[in-house]
Structure 1
Amino acid sequence: MARTADIAERRPHYARLLAEGTGRFFQPPRTTCPWCTSDRLRHRLRSRDHVQNKPGGFALDECRACGHIFQNPRLTSEGLDFYYGDFYDGLGGETTAKMFAGRGSTKRFRHSARALRAHASPRRWLDVGTSHGHFCATAKEELRDTEFDGLDMGESVELAAKEGRIAAAYRGQLTELAQALAGRYDTVSMFHYLEHTLMPRGELAAARTVLRPGGHLLIEVPNPESPLGRLFRGRWMPWFQPQHLHFVPIGNLCRELERIGFTVVSAHRSGNQHIPVDLACATWFWAARAMPKEDAPWLARRPGRVAVAVRWAVALAALPLVLVAYGLDLLLAPVVRRTSLSNAYRVIARRGPDHASERRGN
Structure 2
Amino acid sequence: MKLSKGYQQAKSDLDQKLHSRQAQRIKKMLIGQHLNDGWLAKIFIYFLLAVIAFLYLQPLFYMMSTMVKSVSDLIDPVVQWIPRKIHGQNLADAWRGLRYPEAFTNTIVIALSCSVLQVVSCAITGYALGRLHFPGKTLAFILIIVTFLVPPQITIIPMYTVFGKLGWLNTPLVFIIPALFGQGLRGALFIIIFRQFFLTQPKALEEAAKMDGASVFRLFFRIMLPLARPAIIVVFLFSFIWYWNVSYEASMFLGKDFQPLSLRLSMMQQELMGNSAIVYGAGAGKDPISEGPKMAAAFLIIFPPLIIYTITQRWFTEGIERTGLVE
Alignment TM-score, normalising by the size of structure 2: 0.23
Q: Comparing both chains, which one has the higher relative contact order based on Cα–Cα distances under 8 Å and sequence gaps of 6 or more?
A: 2
Q: Which protein has the bigger strand share?
A: 1
Alignment TM-score, normalising by the size of structure 1: 0.22
Larger radius of gyration: 2
Q: Which protein has the bigger helix share?
A: 2
